[in-house]
Structure 1
Amino acid sequence: MDEPIVVGIDIGTTKICTLVARVEGERNLRILGVGIEPSQGIRKGTIVDLAAASQSIARSVEKAQRTSGLEITSALVSLAGANVSSVNSRGVVGITGGVIDEDDVARALEAAQAVAIPHNREIIHVIQRGFIVDGQDGVRSPIGMHGYRLEVEAHIITAAASTVENLRQCVQAAGVEVTQFVLNPLASAEVVLSETERQMGVVVCDIGGGTTDMAIYIDGDIWHTMVLAVGGNHITSDIAHGLRLSIPQAEEIKKTYGHAIELEISDEETFSVRAFGEDLPVQVSRKELAHIIEARVAEIFELVLQEIKRSGYDGLLPAGMVLTGGSSLLPAMRNLASQVMGLPVRLARPENLVGLTDQLNSPAYSTSVGLLYWALLMSETMPVHSRRSSRSGAGGTSVDLEKLKEFLKRLLP
């Protein structure tokens, strides 16, 4: 029981997923507890009803506690919503001793944070992209190098302070402290991207129920992040309007008969539905359903493409796009993405999991599992303890310097 325990709570528009895992070996996780609960009080990734949202979170946490036999006191929490934005910044400091140490790196990152951020926004991540020592760029780790001037290029992610505070309040109402907020696409990227893709240049696109989250990685670092307020719920809503159905009916039909490319469906295929105002079920062409879905999905990918072009990195993505999230499960989604984006596209899901993983091998849980990998970097500070044990902390080990460096590299503050 000496291995650290890590906890992540993925708060999405359609579901809340709490995962508890034990760290085994270097980077292996054994899933001990899973708590999946439908979301309430959350729309497009933001809280619209505090009481309903905190009840959903509490139920999810309780399920995870019950299956793992562990008490959850703190966790990493996912963050999405259209209020998230990012900016690239540069910090410059002089080196007094001639040799660069951790303090100099920390000062440079602090200098990079001195950008004009409105008072109603909160910094979520400051991620270093690279260092420049005395004009020499492309330095990955400057500690121990000789120099007189250190520059750092940082990617700063901010969110509306009120949104972050509401989310924190909901989680605290469920009896859990927030250790750190992690942006959805960054969590997903931990699970779905290979090291080669990160180096070459890739965009990870996580299409959930209420939002589409994207992050661009080049040279192994994060260069751009964005959250778009469209997702799978918009497809469901279009089906409900187009076929005059209730939202639950439309969601069921989307999952059972949905297809993202109209031309791939034959004219003969039909299914029966009971629309509003009809006494008996009516036959609907599956081609008509695909027509409704294709229009919306193409629009989502056009918005993603527009955002990539706006970032200016559209010519730097030879590894293309990695598609994940619950809505990416729609048949032909990958093909349509490739057509619209003009990039190679692959569908990704969490892999190599051990423990209670029956439901988790799906693109819908990439963010949830990714949170645990982020938590790995912080495992020494996770105060989660077992009811069966009298210890007050999860990991009594001293902080590993290499892990600390890796952690500082990934997320500051």
Structure 2
Amino acid sequence: MQDDKIVVGLDIGTTKICAIVSRVDTYGNLEILGSGVSSSEGVKEGSINNLTKTVSAIRQAVKKAEESSNISINVVNVGISGKHIRCFEQRGSYTRPHHDAIISVEDVERLFDDQLKTVTSPGTDILHVLPQYFSVDYENNVKDPVGMAGVKLEADFQLVTAEINEIKKIRNCLEQAGLEIEGLYLDPLVTGLATLNKEEKEAGVAVIDIGGGTTDIVVYYDGIVRHTAVIPFGGNIITSDIRHGCSVMPSHAETLKVKFGKALAETASDYEYISIPGFRNMETKEISLKNLSYIIEARVEEIFDLILMELENSGFKDKLSCGVVFTGGSALLKDICKLFSYRTGLDARIGYPNEYVGKTQDEIIKNPKYATCLGLVLAGFRSLDDRDEDRLEPQAVEEKQHHQEIPYVPMEEKSSIHIEKEERKGTIFDKILDKTKQFLKDDFDDKSNY
């Protein structure tokens, strides 16, 4: 991680917009300096459909984060999701001109650059290039080829694409809010940063982020991202089912789901009822807790079926030794892990975004619905690929262990501290990420009139 700057994560979700300001403390953990949350009304199923409302919500969240941290925010790391996200496999090959030299970082960069030139569907651009295994001459399943001797360098990649129009909407919203994008990341990838450790990624695990409008999935095995997917259903559709099934107002339906809902109906009591105020002068309505749980379970099972299909498509369902990790607001539904284990036989747990966070009084890390936003902060400090850490030179490792704390001015003495965009320094995958972002920016500018 880089310990010489402050990073802001901005999560533009279907139900909320969240901003977190953080830095690295002297122990190498994240220190949360402030946060802000606002209600999101201009986003549907992970895509922005009302720029005016979204800009207003972003300003509210950022203003709260500025007030709580006493830092003026100019640059943010932002996430992207939605049903327009696509992931496909691609194989690249590069024959090196110098047969007697070892494979260098530049050789691997050349292979990555070739992937950025891949022709995608009309109206889409490459968001991430995720390496799988490399091959050097006749040796396969190489995780890191740098330092090996060989002539022909090949690799399998996962390419993640997003619609240009959706990227344009995010950029326009942030520009109108007076913000600049430092990094644009796929939501499920950064969620995994905040909730998993290296051992889980090595053993095999899937992160399932059930947000308001979408369910994001990312599968790890052998420390490598193997599959990503976005399902266009989330917690809002459960709320909608409750609203129509129980004939209640939307606000009451959300309260029923959050406070009394259970994903496993057999654990609900047959004799418990919840009283809901009637419309205007109408009588109070009584809702059976059992019936409420049946409504929730039916919809959750449908979402689980789609998740299971994606896990099957990944080819790693039977290799998930650490099972699945649920995040997002709907991960707090009672018995959701138990229901998933009953249906799939896989272990399941709730993922709290506190894996790399130091001691803090901020309640934001105690709720899985903020995992994506905290992951965006982590993405600003480190690469999305754990192989970066393995390639750090001894000198870099030594520097990493001796963190220099950022001067911290008492609240009453602080002037407005501006977060400025600075040059990213790091290993090969950091450089590749920068190349991807520059490619996106250049291509986006060329197609701004698309």
TM-score, normalisation: structure 1: 0.91
Query: What is the CA distance between 1:320 and its match in structure 2?
Result: 1.4
Please give the per-residue CA displacement for 1:170-198, whole angstroms capped at 9, x wherever unaligned: 11111111112111111110011122221
Please give the per-residue CA displacement for 1:264-305, whole angstroms capped at 9, x wherever unaligned: 112111111135587110222100100100000111111100
Counterparts of 1:210 and 1:180 in 2: how far apart (Å)?
A: 23
Aligned residue type for 1:324: T
**CA distance change for structure 1 residues 119 and 132 in 2, over 3 Å: closer, same or farther?**
same
* 2:339 paired with 1:336: yes
* 2:151 paired with 1:148: yes
**CA distance change for structure 1 residues 160 and 394 in 2, over 3 Å: closer, same or farther?**
closer
In structure 2, the residue matched to 1:372 is 377
Deviation larger for 166-175 or 22-31: 22-31
Q: How much identity, in percent, do the aligned residues show?
A: 35
In structure 1, the residue matched to 2:123 is 120
Please give the per-residue CA displacement for 1:29-86, whole angstroms capped at 9, x wherever unaligned: 1111201111121011101101001110111111111111111111110111111011
CA contact (8 A) 1:302 1:341 kept: no
Matches within 5 A, 1:217-256: 217-256=220-259
Matches within 5 A, 1:5-404: 5-25=6-26, 27-97=28-98, 98-276=101-279, 279-351=282-354, 352-355=357-360, 357-377=362-382, 388=415, 393=420, 403-404=426-427
**CA distance change for structure 1 residues 316 and 115 in 2, over 3 Å: closer, same or farther?**
farther
**CA distance change for structure 1 residues 287 and 106 in 2, over 3 Å: closer, same or farther?**
same
**CA distance change for structure 1 residues 114 and 133 in 2, over 3 Å: closer, same or farther?**
same
Q: Which runs of 5+ in 2 are unaligned?
A: 384-408, 437-450
Counterparts of 2:339 and 2:184 in 1: how far apart (Å)?
A: 32
Counterparts of 2:278 and 2:44 in 1: how far apart (Å)?
A: 26
Secondary structure, in 3 states, of the residue corresponding to 1:360? helix
Aligned residue type for 2:51: L
Secondary structure, in 3 states, of the residue corresponding to 2:10? strand
Counterparts of 1:313 and 1:390 in 2: how far apart (Å)?
A: 46
Aligned residue type for 1:100: I
Structure 1's consecutive aligned runs of 4 or more residues displaced over 4 angstroms after TM superposition are: 275-278, 389-395, 408-412
Query: What is the CA distance between 1:113 and its match in structure 2?
Result: 3.5
Counterparts of 1:225 and 1:306 in 2: how far apart (Å)?
A: 12
Query: What is the CA distance between 1:388 and its match in structure 2?
Result: 2.9
Aligned residues: 402
CA contact (8 A) 1:245 1:274 kept: no
CA contact (8 A) 1:109 1:152 kept: no
Aligned residue type for 1:375: G
Query: What is the CA distance between 1:318 and its match in structure 2?
Result: 2.4
Please give the per-residue CA displacement for 1:344-370, whole angstroms capped at 9, x wherever unaligned: 111110124434522331111110111
Counterparts of 1:119 and 1:302 in 2: how far apart (Å)?
A: 30
Counterparts of 2:264 and 2:430 in 1: how far apart (Å)?
A: 42
Aligned residue type for 2:428: K
Counterparts of 1:89 and 1:412 in 2: how far apart (Å)?
A: 18
Query: What is the CA distance between 1:112 and its match in structure 2?
Result: 2.9
Counterparts of 2:76 and 2:133 in 1: how far apart (Å)?
A: 29
Secondary structure, in 3 states, of the residue corresponding to 1:354? coil
CA contact (8 A) 2:219 2:227 kept: yes
Please give the per-residue CA displacement for 1:237-277, whole angstroms capped at 9, x wherever unaligned: 00000111111111011111111111111211111113558
CA contact (8 A) 1:27 1:376 kept: no
Aligned residue type for 1:343: L
CA contact (8 A) 2:74 2:419 kept: no
Counterparts of 2:194 and 2:382 in 1: how far apart (Å)?
A: 14
Counterparts of 2:360 and 2:294 in 1: how far apart (Å)?
A: 41
CA contact (8 A) 1:34 1:356 kept: no
Secondary structure, in 3 states, of the residue corresponding to 2:301? helix
Please give the per-residue CA displacement for 1:361-389, whole angstroms capped at 9, x wherever unaligned: 111111011111101127xxxxxxx9837
CA contact (8 A) 1:89 1:154 kept: yes
Counterparts of 1:298 and 1:377 in 2: how far apart (Å)?
A: 36
**CA distance change for structure 1 residues 105 and 180 in 2, over 3 Å: closer, same or farther?**
same
TM-score, normalisation: structure 2: 0.84
Deviation larger for 50-59 or 128-137: 128-137
Counterparts of 2:43 and 2:207 in 1: how far apart (Å)?
A: 24
CA contact (8 A) 1:204 1:322 kept: yes
In structure 2, the residue matched to 1:382 is none
Counterparts of 1:270 and 1:198 in 2: how far apart (Å)?
A: 43
Counterparts of 2:419 and 2:351 in 1: how far apart (Å)?
A: 38
CA contact (8 A) 1:128 1:152 kept: yes
Query: What is the CA distance between 1:21 and its match in structure 2?
Result: 0.6
